[in-house]
Amino acid sequence: MIHTARQMSAARRTNGPPAPTVAGMTRKLAVTACLTLALALTACMAEPFEHGDGKRIKVAVEGLFGELERADYTAAAAHWCTAARPAKPLTADQLKTDFESLQRPWRIKLVSSQHTPGSTGVANLTLTDGGGAEHPYNVDFTMAGGTTEICTVDTGTISIDVDI
């Protein structure tokens, strides 16, 4: 059987996958790059207080501020860490003086935290009171022994710069 050039070309095109083209390879590379970038951005925007140490910090801080919001100052004063207890831990009366005037209900938003795993750290948060006023607080904590314990709470925010 004799085939023409056109018939041979058609036969080659139907046998097996098509030969890769520059446009096809470029398209695949672009799709791969976009997916990689999307995954990286998703990881960057993930909530830092939803997993691992961040979640333990969130539970401890929200527990303390929940007691303060309910005006259970005695329970809140009992939170102070045992491993790195402050020289003069805040008393129930001091907590009452500091937090009683804040209009209820509160909204707490953890803003950032800096810590060394298994050691100490600080968390910054914004307390929005019932009147809509925002109050910045920082909470010192320790993670020694595998649990997160609050050591103290103060007004303002703290940033720790580390030179490497």
pLDDT tens-place string over residues 54-102: 899 999 999 999 999 999 999 999 988 876 667 788 999 999 999 999 9
pTM: 0.67
Q: Which of 22-31, 132-141, 145-154 is predicted with the least confidence, judged by mean pLDDT?
A: 22-31
Question: Over 50: is that where the pLDDT of 123 sits?
Answer: yes
Tell me the pLDDT tens digit for each residue of 6-51.
555 555 555 656 666 777 667 666 655 544 544 444 444 446 678 7
Burial 47-84 (b: 16+ CB within 10 A, else e): eebeeebbebbbebbeebbebbbeeebebbbebbbeee
| pLDDT, average across residues 122-143 | 95
Confidence grade of residue 115 (pLDDT, cut at 50, 70, 90):
confident
- The pLDDT assigned to 43 comes to 42
Q: What is the CA radius of gyration of the chain?
A: 29
Confidence grade of residue 157 (pLDDT, cut at 50, 70, 90):
confident
- Does the bond joining 48 to the residue before it have cis omega, within 30 degrees of 0? no
Average pLDDT of the chain, as a whole number: 80
- The pLDDT assigned to 24 comes to 67
- The pLDDT assigned to 40 comes to 43
